Structure 1
Amino acid sequence: MIKDSKYRPLFLKGKEGRGNYSVVVVCRNDEETISMNKIKIVLKGCNNFLKGYKFYLFQEENLKEEIVNHLKLKGISYICGVHDLDTLRDKDVIEINPVTCNIRVLYRSNSNDNFLMLTNKCNNNCIMCPDSLSVRTENNNIPLHIIKRHIKLIDKSTTFLCITGGEPTLLRDDFIEIIKYCKEKLPNTKYLLLTNGRIFYYKNFTETFIKNRPKDMVIAIPIHAHEPKLHDYISSIEGSFVQTFYGVKNLLDKGEKIEIRIVVNKLNYNMLKNIAFMINKYFAKVFRVSFMAMEMLGNAVVNNKEIWISFKDVQTELKQAVLLLLKSGIEVKIYNFPLCSLDKSLWSLNVRSISDYKVRYKDKCKDCSVIEKCGGFFNSTINMEDIKVHPVKG
């Protein structure tokens, strides 16, 4: 099993730290190597521009007092023993805790896959969700001032940002404040909002959202079935289909860009064509429809016997649904499927969508001539069964 060559971890761990907890800092490209008494010291400096605060990250595990004195680090915060230090890039935004020596990468400057995580909570409990119920019910909302600081430190030239959760709209007023702040600080960025769409059932909230959102935003909403009973069973919330259906309708009536997402699983794969018919009938002005393979973590693992289905077993139904939508003039994308599991006629619709820190490939995949275009496998999905890969030659 091989990792994507562009792999950059979101979490780094040091060995020893000192100083103040810094919620968001910006990693600057002032790395240097210093030799002292035959000891090579690699350090990377970080600045929090909001405070003029300086922080150092060291590759070495132990900092002797003489080294601290030599570098004039008295009173300056640092973490040493950061072995993945070389994965950080200029203009990355990171969160540092010198007590636990944890470093979390909030924004990767060379990535087109950055996101703002607003909350872990969700008012659905989808049976194929990669988070567990315990994760989604913990009281772990990220404070508003921290999120705004994160946004303020993001490179102004960034092209894309995903806003996600949990269910980000559960923050209500804070959610509106966040998207308004994004509009102010990053006006030229393209946004993707991941939401279950239920809040947009309420027209007053929908109007407030539209008034304050950034100018270029796609709203991605999952629909699990073409009728309430199955959709509500998959979401585990009675009435969620009605709220989601009318949430999509309210947004479309206002001219918003909507992406409908269909997570393909054993419960709904043989109804994909019916879902496509429903979309064509009621949501013909949708911006895009995306079919997505599952990420087998959290609830998905707990319910794997009920929901897991192999890639090859969904191909007939998937192709029928895709062709129906395409013939209606609706854009279609396919996410999280390895290319060799798809009918070749669908390859042009496939998106290399799995985040680089999650994507994996079978060992045989290294001999495939189209691996750079292939979606690969989630690290949590690749061993769900003995998935056969068929490397493309030439």
Structure 2
Amino acid sequence: MIKDCKYRPLFLKGKMGQGSYSLVSVCKSEESLDKKCKAKVILKSKTFIKGYDAYVFQSENVQEKVMNYLKLNNIPYICGVDEIDTLVDKDVIEMDTDRSTIKVLYRANSTDNVLMLTNKCNNNCIMCPDSLKVRTENKNIPLSILKKYIELIDEEVKFLCITGGEPTLLKKDFIEIIRYLGEKLPDTEYLLLTNGRMFYNKNFAESFLKSTPKNLITAIPIHGHYPELHDSISGVKGSFIQSFYGLKNLYELGGKIEIRVVINKLNYTVITNIAAMISNYFPKVVRVNFMAMEMLGNAVVNKEKVWIDFNSVQEKLKEAAFILLKSGIEVGIYNFPLCSLDESIWNLSVRSISDYKIRYKEQCKECSVMKNCGGFFNSTINMKDLKVNPIQ
């Protein structure tokens, strides 16, 4: 199994730490990053430099006089951090000094960064890569923390994905975060991942659109072309009506919309019907993306109900794509390896899997189009009926 060359861990572990919880940007080089909260990363060859808000040491054995200085001034630090060399200038990290762990929230050299607002969700999708337990724990991120995170993000960031859980469940705080993003990062392109149900309330939809940055697209999934099918996949009765009319409200109010169709065993035979419905009701959406599943969480628990091998989907996927293309709608195909797609729709395939999740099978090294192929999720690559057919 081959890892993508861009792989960078999101979690780093140290040996010991001290101080309060810290949300800081990374500084490895000597020059200032012009940010209020900076963490100085010190490699073995570096000497101690004063004046930073937090410190990360590669060495486990830091000089006693350095430790005394940090303790006396109540400055957070973590020592003996593995893979410290994977951090880069302007990363935003969350330092948990009690556990001596670092979570990389924003990767400065990545085009695939996420702003997660909450783990909670008002759906329980049968193929969700999160588990029901994860989505029902009370882990809403305080508004003050979210704002601080946004302030630390490099102002030149090109793209940011806003996600959850279900971000809109934060209600007024959600609207405030959307407004704040437009104020602090006005030139960034945004993709909001939401089930769209809260936009069923037209007043909420209007408040949202009044606050959105100029480059924000709202991505809403449609799981079926009639309520019973959609609701059986979302796990909530009545969710189709709310998602459909939430989408309709945004559409009629001029919002930029992407519709997503996550393909699974329950809906793969009717994705042509879903495509026809979209063409009839929402012909001016920005795009429609067909997506293969990430086999984690609920998707694994419900594997027998939802898993369908890529090759079984090929003909219906091709037909659905052409229905939309003939209506003038842009189409993307996500998370499918090229060898599982008809060659006539290769140009619709997107290298979409996050860089730290991409994997390839050993046979993929023999494939002539591997560099253009999105590969597999690290959680999906070992499904027993997952086969590859290297293209020569």
TM-score tier by shorter-chain length is over 0.9
* 1:319 matches 2:318: yes
Measured after TM superposition, the shift of residue 340 of structure 1 is 1.1
- What is the CA–CA distance in structure 1 between the aligned matches of 2:155 and 2:256, rounded to whole Å? 23
Match of 1:252 in 2: 251
How do residues 95-106 of structure 1 correspond to structure 2 at under 5 angstroms?
95-106=94-105
Match of 2:3 in 1: 3
Match of 1:138 in 2: 137
Gaps of 5+ in 1: 33-39
* 1:189 matches 2:188: yes
Secondary structure, counterpart of 2:127 in structure 1: coil
Q: For residue 320 of structure 1, what is the amino acid of its counterpart?
A: E
Secondary structure, counterpart of 1:237 in structure 2: coil
Measured after TM superposition, the shift of residue 324 of structure 1 is 0.7
Residues 44-92 of structure 1, C-alpha deviation per residue, up to 9 Å, x if partnerless?
9999xxxx752221222333526757x9886443211212111111111
Count of equivalent residues: 380
Measured after TM superposition, the shift of residue 237 of structure 1 is 0.6
- What is the CA–CA distance in structure 2 between the aligned matches of 1:301 and 1:139, rounded to whole Å? 23
- What is the CA–CA distance in structure 2 between the aligned matches of 1:254 and 1:247, rounded to whole Å? 11
Measured after TM superposition, the shift of residue 386 of structure 1 is 3.8
Match of 1:351 in 2: 350
Match of 2:284 in 1: 285
Residues 261-302 of structure 1, C-alpha deviation per residue, up to 9 Å, x if partnerless?
000000000001000110011111111000000001110001
Match of 1:179 in 2: 178
- What is the CA–CA distance in structure 2 between the aligned matches of 1:298 and 1:44, rounded to whole Å? 45
Q: Quick check: 1:31–1:42 contact (8 Å CA) kept in 2? A: no
Measured after TM superposition, the shift of residue 341 of structure 1 is 1.1
**Residues 7, 44 of structure 1: alpha-carbon distance in 2 compared, 3 angstrom cutoff:** farther
- What is the CA–CA distance in structure 2 between the aligned matches of 1:59 and 1:306, rounded to whole Å? 47
**Residues 8, 319 of structure 1: alpha-carbon distance in 2 compared, 3 angstrom cutoff:** same
How do residues 207-218 of structure 1 correspond to structure 2 at under 5 angstroms?
207-218=206-217
Match of 1:392 in 2: 391
Secondary structure, counterpart of 2:157 in structure 1: coil
- What is the CA–CA distance in structure 2 between the aligned matches of 1:135 and 1:381, rounded to whole Å? 20
Measured after TM superposition, the shift of residue 99 of structure 1 is 1.3
Q: For residue 6 of structure 2, what is the amino acid of its counterpart?
A: K
- What is the CA–CA distance in structure 2 between the aligned matches of 1:331 and 1:250, rounded to whole Å? 21
How do residues 93-172 of structure 1 correspond to structure 2 at under 5 angstroms?
93-172=92-171
Match of 1:12 in 2: 12
Match of 1:239 in 2: 238
Secondary structure, counterpart of 1:317 in structure 2: helix
CA RMSD of aligned residues (A): 2.0
**Residues 338, 45 of structure 1: alpha-carbon distance in 2 compared, 3 angstrom cutoff:** farther
Measured after TM superposition, the shift of residue 9 of structure 1 is 1.1
Secondary structure, counterpart of 1:41 in structure 2: coil
Q: Quick check: 1:17–1:77 contact (8 Å CA) kept in 2? A: yes
Aligned-residue sequence identity (percent) comes to: 65
Secondary structure, counterpart of 2:191 in structure 1: strand
* Structure 1: 4+ residue segments shifted above 4 A: 42-47, 66-69, 71-74
**Residues 366, 239 of structure 1: alpha-carbon distance in 2 compared, 3 angstrom cutoff:** same
Measured after TM superposition, the shift of residue 108 of structure 1 is 0.8
- What is the CA–CA distance in structure 2 between the aligned matches of 1:142 and 1:66, rounded to whole Å? 37
How do residues 16-35 of structure 1 correspond to structure 2 at under 5 angstroms?
16-22=16-22, 24-30=23-29
Gaps of 5+ in 2: 32-42
Q: For residue 227 of structure 1, what is the amino acid of its counterpart?
A: Y
**Residues 59, 366 of structure 1: alpha-carbon distance in 2 compared, 3 angstrom cutoff:** farther
Q: Quick check: 1:159–1:188 contact (8 Å CA) kept in 2? A: yes
Q: Quick check: 2:309–2:385 contact (8 Å CA) kept in 1? A: no
Match of 1:267 in 2: 266
Match of 1:381 in 2: 380
Q: 1:41 aligns with which of 44, 61, 70?
A: 44
- What is the CA–CA distance in structure 2 between the aligned matches of 1:17 and 1:237, rounded to whole Å? 44
* 1:372 matches 2:371: yes
Match of 1:36 in 2: none
Residues 191-234 of structure 1, C-alpha deviation per residue, up to 9 Å, x if partnerless?
00000001111110011001111111110000000000010011
Q: Quick check: 2:48–2:66 contact (8 Å CA) kept in 1? A: no
Measured after TM superposition, the shift of residue 42 of structure 1 is 4.6
Measured after TM superposition, the shift of residue 122 of structure 1 is 0.3
- What is the CA–CA distance in structure 2 between the aligned matches of 1:95 and 1:72, rounded to whole Å? 18
Q: For residue 327 of structure 1, what is the amino acid of its counterpart?
A: K
- What is the CA–CA distance in structure 2 between the aligned matches of 1:58 and 1:392, rounded to whole Å? 46
Measured after TM superposition, the shift of residue 357 of structure 1 is 1.2
**Residues 42, 102 of structure 1: alpha-carbon distance in 2 compared, 3 angstrom cutoff:** farther
Q: For residue 276 of structure 1, what is the amino acid of its counterpart?
A: A
Residues 322-365 of structure 1, C-alpha deviation per residue, up to 9 Å, x if partnerless?
01111111000000111111111111111111111111110121
**Residues 239, 14 of structure 1: alpha-carbon distance in 2 compared, 3 angstrom cutoff:** same
**Residues 270, 92 of structure 1: alpha-carbon distance in 2 compared, 3 angstrom cutoff:** same
Q: Quick check: 2:117–2:167 contact (8 Å CA) kept in 1? A: yes
Measured after TM superposition, the shift of residue 388 of structure 1 is 1.8
